[in-house]
Amino acid sequence: MRWLEGTSPQLAAAAGGVAILPLGALEAHGPHLPVGTDVWIAGAMARAGAARLAAAGIPAFVLPPLAFAPAPFAAGFPGTLSIRPETLTALVVDLGQALAEGGVAVLALANAHFDPAQVGALREAVRRISERGRPRVAFPDLTRRALAARLTEEFRSGACHAGRYETSILLAERPDLVDEAVRAGLPELQVSLIDLARGGAATFREAGLEAAYCGAPAAASSAEGRETVARLGDLLAEAVQAVWPA
């Protein structure tokens, strides 16, 4: 069930269950994808994970997506709206407290925005919530090598911002939001944001992403997008099951 659509009596069933928070961003995603791309991807991951949990007998509720995020890498590109990392941390911690008071057993984070500022803020939120002890937190951090290994080759390479990986998911989930005429003409740009960020790059432009994309968006397909969403759902469900009360 989507939390936003439930009545108060219906959401009483969330006590003892899982609340899934999709986390995206509003930032430039090349000339062919919407600035809300990460929001759509996080939502797809959350829904796929919820379906797998429900099939396993674990009640799961998908919270409204959080679109506002730290996005300093996309600074200077129109449409990008960035918040402070500590703002995100505080919001997630407060939400965890509210869910705990409602009896929710697990807060699951379905994150699709990998700016280092975002990942760091979420790790800190997980630490603080875990110190309180309730709710339990499931955070499949896709920047970790073991989880990234289960996603696409482009994702593992780090050259995946608005590239084949993300564009494929949008083609599967919201093809109406993909500018196909522009996408078809975009050349492949093999620039690993992971490596460049480790080397000190702090923005897309510093990393050589003058059009706010890297990877191979022209090679994307809806079939790959559907397969990737399924894998994301598996990773989320597995993270929840790992912390599920025995």
pLDDT single digits (tens) 9-26: 999 999 999 999 999 999
Residues of the chain where predicted confidence (pLDDT) is lower than 70: 246
Q: Which residues contact 55 (CB under 8 A, 6 or more apart)?
A: none
Cβ(106)–Cβ(138) below 8 Å: yes
Sheet with strand 18-23: strands edge to edge: 60-62, 18-23, 106-111, 136-138
- Any idea which residue has 């505080």 for tokens? 90
Return the closest-CA partner of residue 70 out of 129, 128, 32, 111: 111
Question: pLDDT value at position 195?
Answer: 81
106-145 core/surface letters (b: 16 or more CB in 10 A; e: else): bbbbbbbbbbbbbbebbebbbebbeeeebbbbbbbbbeee
Question: pLDDT value at position 200?
Answer: 81
**Is pTM, for the whole model, over 0.85?**
yes
Q: Domain ranges in the chain? A: 3-243
Return the closest-CA partner of residue 73 out of 216, 206, 188: 206
Question: pLDDT value at position 90?
Answer: 98
Q: Superfamily for 3-243?
A: Creatininase (3.40.50.10310)
Question: End-to-end distance of the chain based on CA atoms, in angstroms?
Answer: 23
Question: pLDDT value at position 192?
Answer: 86
Question: pLDDT value at position 78?
Answer: 97
Q: How far apart are CA 75 and CA 182, in angstroms?
A: 22
Cβ(157)–Cβ(188) below 8 Å: no
